[in-house]
Structure 1
Amino acid sequence: MGSVRRMCGWAMAGDATWKHSSYVLTILAGERPARTMHGQSALSAFVYCASRYFPTIGDSMTTPQHHPAGDKPAGVTRRLFRHALSAAVAATLVCSMPLAMAQAYPSKVVKIIVPFPPGAATDNMARALALRLQTALGQPFIVENKAGASGILGTQFVAQSPADGHTLLYTASGPISTALKLYDKVPYDADRDLVPVSLFIANTVVVTGRPGAAQKDFPGYLKYARENPGKLKYGFGPAGGLPHLLMANFAQQTKVDLTFVPYKGGAPVLVDMIGGTLDIATGNLSEVNEQLKAGKIVPLAVASRERSPVLPDTPTLVELGYPDMVAEAWSALLAPAGTPEPVIRKLNEEMRKIQRDPAFMADVARQAAVIKPSTPDEARRFIRAETVKWSKVVSDNNIKAD
């Protein structure tokens, strides 16, 4: 290899050959260059370098042509050239493998694991995504529900699956964001064991009240809570869910004393809100929108940065003076760590197409959700930031899952 480096090193005098020679050096050293030289392959770059200094490739080729820099070699054998050329050809094949891999994917049935029961909002959106990916990529995409331990079992299954893109995870934030803080033993590290393909949709958290209450808006409820510590009953479910974390964070930051009433899920919270047992509650907008439209509960504030198109007259908590009170119930598609980048990129590109489809956009809007496109890198940064934010809330409030 040192002889090959010296051979190409003599080609580094003066002009554009420097770029081609250094490119070949990178390949011959066993490294993958960051990009091709002006769209050229490894082989074409090598041939360019060789043709300048070995214009006749034949039996008579024993020494390089004149080169202005460095000492001239005693001789360069045909064997050395053959070895160098073989290395360049091999590097060309290696560089072309990602493209071939992406073109071949998927080669069989793709399973999308949803770590929640059938019929949940996450499950419904996963099935909509699977159907569209199947149409676009020409292989079956099937949804399998592996519920248990608040999403941990299904997430673990994907984290331990082969990293070939044929087993994917579609999940809400909990199992890959706050689970490590909420549970004592989680058998995976989401940031280490999974790689995001893309965020997909998001749903704002909404604070709701009772239509017959004396307080008519969020500031009114807050005033009552301050004047009557512990009397305002706040319902949430499940423990450690995003709606719960939002209000735990709000109570801590504002020093307001609420009586927290835990439930196993959002449905019994709604029942007691409508029945008058609770004063306020939080939930994902898509899950409470029908009751809002029916007037059974009233919206007090939304936890998005901008007003929801579904509730244009409802202020955000940011507008009301609480800039840190932003909570989105997002979902994302992920793959096992080590899944080839071309496969991740191909899936991401197809998801972006789906998110731009007018029919899909209308379907998401009907569910009171918003589309949340991202690149894989943007998704990773977002998930990491969310994990840090909400894990701190969990720790500061000593919250543990049921």
Structure 2
Amino acid sequence: MNRNTIIPALATIAAAAVVPLTAQAEDFPQRTIELIFPWGPGNAMSSSQILADAMSDEIGVSIPVISTPGASGTKAFLIAMNKPADGYTIIDGYVAPLVLQPVLGKADWNYNDFVPLHAAFSNAFALGTAAGNDRWASFEDMMHYCAEHPGELRYTTGSRNNLPHMVTAKALQSYNCVAQNIPYTANADAMSDLKNGVLDFGFINVGDFQQNPKDYNILIVLSELPESVAAFGGAPSIADLDIDLGLSGLAPLGWNWWLVHKDTPPDRLEILRRAMKAAIERPEVQAKAESLGFSFLKWDWDKYDEIVSPVADQLEAMGNALKWEEEQLAKQ
């Protein structure tokens, strides 16, 4: 091969190296990509749409969020799993359908049956009282009182046997605190009773706190993650306690990863991963999500197993704490 043929050949190779990744992957994507979302409309869906819109800008096609509520999130997973493994379906993988329902025996998959794009959001949990309630100087003070007065205190986590109830029960069990969980169908009613003294303490959603921070006295943030603590204005967290509650990482909070079918072609998977990561890194996207009470998680796809695998064991321990609470209340 002479110089006249080598130079054009090298130019062709160099040009191929800078062709956008979408072109290298058979011009993927060429049409709308659906994000299957497991809940109804609300702040969580709005946050996912914010990220989907930013990812759409990066990838060049529309990414609508398809609300598919039902069966504690498992309906959305089943629908998504029956779609072709072609990269045109993303699963908004919340902890309840991804990990909790399999732990409870209500889903026949586990987190390793999916391939991650990137961690998405966290939604921090906290326990607190109404503003001005000075019965206890700290969460530990309240726990010591509770242990000495079993069955006296009343609290709420909204509905019973949900993830906030499981996390709370595990925290209370660590202090031998037996309290009554009062169920509510509407969160607004629960917060109203908390503020009016009908309840002694309660689960406080980060969105409620950020909208009305002066209404609540946050006793404990049920996470050691810095972003969770920041979301509640720097309130004390489980990292500040003298005992280990057996709660760490993603286990004691709401969270999601975006996932795809395990058989998605590697070149398309790489395009989706890079687009999602780029969307998350946009400051304006982070600010919009945080205004709704959601914090972006930092972990890329290669940390998926390391971060998610401990959650199942902790959820099982939380389920045992729920049973303990019921057994102790039955003795009162």
TM-score normalised by length of structure 2: 0.81
Distance 1:160 1:253 in 2: 42
Could you tell me which of 266, 270, 280 is aligned with 1:341? 266
Instruction: Answer yes or no: is 1:170 the counterpart of 2:92.
Output: yes
Closer/same/farther in 2, CA of residues 226 and 388 from structure 1, 3 Å limit: closer
- 1:232 match: 153
CA change 1:228–1:395 in 2 (3 A) is closer
Paired AA for residue 106 in structure 1: P
SS in 1 for 2:66: strand
Counting only pairs closer than 5 Å after superposition, residues 255-266 of structure 1 correspond to structure 2 as 255-264=176-185, 266=187
Residues 74-85 of structure 1 aligned to structure 2 (within 5 Å): none
Query: C-alpha distance in 1, partners of 2:310/2:223?
Result: 16
- Cα distance in 2 between the residues matched to 1:265 and 1:102: 47
Aligned residue type for 1:173: V
Q: 1:123: Cα distance to partner?
A: 0.7
| Contact 2:161-2:322 at 8 Å conserved across structures | no
Aligned-residue offset at 1:263 = 3.0
Deviates more, 1:120-129 or 1:213-222: 213-222
**Deviation string for 1:15-67 (max 9, x for gaps)?**
xxxxxxxxxxxxxxxxxxxxxxxxxxxxxxxxxxxxxxxxxxxxxxxxxxxxx
1:274-311 deviation line (CA, Å, top 9, x unaligned): 232211112431343223x2x22221111221552244
AA paired with 1:242?
L
> Does structure 2 conserve the Cα–Cα contact (< 8 Å) formed by 1:209 and 1:297?
yes
Q: Residues 83-112 of structure 1: CA distance to partner in whole angstroms, max 9, x if unpaired?
A: xxxxxxxxxxxxxxx986636221211111
Q: Does 1:111 align with 2:34?
A: yes
* Structure 1 contact 284–329 (Cα < 8 Å) conserved: no
Distance 1:313 1:224 in 2: 25
Tell me if 1:329 matches 2:249.
Answer: no
CA gap of 1:246–1:185, structure 2 versus 1, over 3 A, is closer
Name 2:216's counterpart in structure 1: 297
| Residue correspondence of structure 1 range 1-400 to structure 2 within 5 A | 102=25, 104-118=27-41, 120-182=42-104, 184-186=105-107, 188-213=108-133, 214-264=135-185, 266-291=187-212, 293=213, 295-306=214-225, 308-323=229-244, 324-326=246-248, 327-395=252-320, 397-398=322-323
> What secondary structure, in the 3-state scheme, does the structure 1 residue paired with 2:69 have?
coil
Deviation at 1:127, TM superposition (A): 0.7
Secondary structure of 2:240 counterpart: coil
Matches of 2:190 and 2:266, distance apart in 1: 43
TM superposition shift of 1:174:
0.8
C-alpha change, 1:99 and 1:123, in structure 2 (3 Å) is closer
User: For 1:345 and 1:260, how far apart are their aligned partners in 2?
Assistant: 46
The structure whose Rg is larger is 1
Q: Give SS of 1:309's match.
A: helix
Mapped to 2, the partners of 1:211 and 1:318 lie a distance apart of 23
In the aligned structure 2, how far is the partner of 1:203 from the partner of 1:367?
A: 10
- Percent sequence identity is 21
RMSD over aligned Cα, in angstroms? 2.4
Q: Which moved more, 1:259-268 or 1:150-159?
A: 259-268
2: distance between equivalents of 1:130 and 1:256? 42
Q: Which has the higher contact order (CA 8 A, sep 6+)?
A: 2
AA aligned opposite 1:318: A
TM-score, normalised to structure 1's length? 0.68
Distance 1:252 1:374, change over 3 A: same
Structure 1 unaligned regions, length at least 5: 1-97
